């Protein structure tokens, strides 16, 4: 019995190491940990990186409605969309928050671990949009829409950065303007 248990644990350990040793590259489809996305940033060993969701918001959505556009969340990080998005969770205490913050409401439907990219994360995505789009199309998903929201606010201006994925250019946009949303996650 002891030999069987030892063999079982050794086999389990070997399978665990093998499962963790998959090396990803930019443009790979990622389907682990309950997430489905396309790799757009990866460490040198291919073990860690970021994915963009295969799902995109339906049509264009507002960051927020005119009624709440003056509210700022101190989402000032250019590089950490997760930190920005965590600050945004404050809206969930408002009655009918989904109505007032449609971009955020859509992204929350994806589940835990996803967030809206900061402006520099969105630039990294736009820089490899051609590879990401090829994978998305190959697997029957929509290409990245060319105008996507980021989670980086522009201090004191009631505006937020958006990215043009076709030209890898960023623009300031009013929070009640319309763009699409793609979420990202780390692996």
Q: Which residue has the tokens 């029957």?
A: 140
pTM: 0.86
CA distance 152 to 8: 49
DSSP conformational letter for 115: B
Give 144's contacts (C-beta < 8 A, 6+ positions apart): 52, 56, 125, 129, 132, 133, 136, 165, 182
* Distance, C-alpha 136 to centroid of its chain: 15
Predicted confidence band of residue 7 (pLDDT cuts 50, 70, 90): very low
The encoded tokens of residue 53 equal 């969701």
Average pLDDT of the chain, as a whole number: 90
CA distance 119 to 121: 6
The residue ranking higher by pLDDT, 12 or 23, is: 23
Query: What confidence score (pLDDT) does residue 182 get?
Result: 97
3-state secondary structure of 29: strand
Backbone φ and ψ for 157, nearest 5 degrees, come out as: -115, 5
DSSP strands (E only) in 73-139: none
Domains and CATH numbers, the chain: 23-186 (3.10.100)
């Amino acid at each position: 019995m002891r030999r069987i248990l030892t063999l079982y644990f050794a086999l389990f350990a070997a399978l665990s190491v093998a499962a963790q040793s998959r090396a990803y590259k930019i443009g790979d489809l990622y389907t682990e940990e309950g997430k489905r996305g396309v790799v757009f940033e990866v460490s040198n060993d291919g073990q860690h990186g970021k994915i963009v969701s295969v799902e995109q918001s339906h049509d264009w959505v507002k960051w927020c409605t005119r009624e709440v556009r003056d509210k700022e969340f101190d989402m000032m990080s250019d590089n950490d969309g997760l930190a920005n998005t965590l600050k945004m969770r404050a809206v969930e205490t408002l009655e009918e928050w989904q109505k007032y913050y449609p971009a955020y409401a859509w992204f929350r439907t994806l589940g835990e671990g996803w967030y809206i990219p900061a402006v520099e994360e969105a630039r990294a995505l736009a820089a490899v949009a051609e590879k990401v789009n090829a994978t998305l199309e190959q697997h029957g998903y929509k290409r990245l829409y060319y105008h996507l929201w980021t989670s980086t606010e522009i201090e004191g201006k009631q505006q937020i950065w958006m990215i043009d994925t076709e030209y890898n250019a960023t623009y300031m946009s009013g929070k009640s303007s319309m763009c699409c949303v793609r979420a990202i996650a780390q692996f």
